[in-house]
Structure 1
Amino acid sequence: MSEVRVLVASRNAKKLRELERVLIAADVSGIALVGLDDVPAYPEAPETGATFEENALAKARDGAAATGLPCVADDSGIEVDALNAMPGVLSARWAGRHGDDEANTALLLGQLTDVPDERRGAAFVSACALVLPGSGQDAGDREIVVRGEWRGEIVRAPRGAGGFGYDPVFRPEGEDRTSAELSPQEKDAASHRGKALALLVPRLADLAARGD
């Protein structure tokens, strides 16, 4: 049986590897993951949704429509209690330029300088969508959106070289280490995206079994 190609609507190789590890851990075979750099370029709509779910679904719909492949997309970020759940959907461009991790983290830490330790609670949030090609107004079971959350707190200075984004300043509940100090396997087992991707595993396993 040939492998089913599934598009991951991202150019972040770490996100592809993360889903690969989740599939391996769940003993799902027959899925070949490809990223945006592996398919012909197509217009990507800006992330203008008010929620992570809206943005993830829009990206997955665009990818499936443009390539004819099942498409997985995620939208994730961090919600900080003391900032009224911001940066939220603006996490990737909090400092003004999309994807500038250092600037985003520095701005967040600056905004929390005077916030005491007991009020530095936060949660990483991830919404992941799977859209099968041909879906539209009557999508039905051809679209699924799931959500994962990871509670913790914002530390006062970055620690660790792993992960990306706000990982170096996020200490998960029950941990002495930041997310950036965890191994990939430890992070997969607990993280917001790991939890959300795990909820997609049954659908992806079904795709692999059907071979479509």
Structure 2
Amino acid sequence: MTMELPDECILNSVGNASIVIAPDIIELIVILRYEKPTAEEVRNSVDKWKNYVVTHAKKAGASERSQIVTYENMEKTADGYSFELQINTKMSCYKSAQKLRSHLVEKLDFDKTSILPLEFHHSRELVAKKREEITNYAIHKVKNNAKTTAKQMSVRLGSLRTISDVELTESFMSTGGAGDSNELSQVLQKKSKTKIISAIVKATFTIIPSA
């Protein structure tokens, strides 16, 4: 006995896809702190090393004005003036940022400078682009899965009726522990900020019984 299908039936299909996105913004933060008897002296001291940091940041690839941002704060003290300047440099190349940080650690005065570990971020433009890409790929997979199912059922796949659900999730990769060295710690930090975007698409198709 064979089962007869109506002229038009519905086939439900699901497509899954995921993509790994490395951070495209690497940020280096340098903080200079100086104290001098006069405001002019303390500003001159800070400006000297500010220019040094900015010059080398530009050489390392931070050529756009928006990539280097400074924040400053001057306070009057009992002995004169204190001046704190923070320099945030954003770069796209991890190796260049590493080399710049190592160079500044070597050249700047340890007692008057804080050089923070590299920070890692994703630009909104990159995330939006990859979310769109992975959604389109999941839709492509849901169509392929529907074709495979229709073939197994010995029916012809008709048209896409609806995409009933698109679910996007974001997570970060696991690092597996802390590194023993500063360089390894930075590598693990970069990995911990690497995103995984996953998409699940549910869709319905018409199927047509084979003649």
TM-score, normalization by structure 2: 0.30
More helix by share: 1
Larger Rg: 2
Greater RCO, CA 8 A, separation 6+: 2
Comparing both structures, which one devotes a greater share of its residues to strand?
A: 2
TM-score (norm 1): 0.30
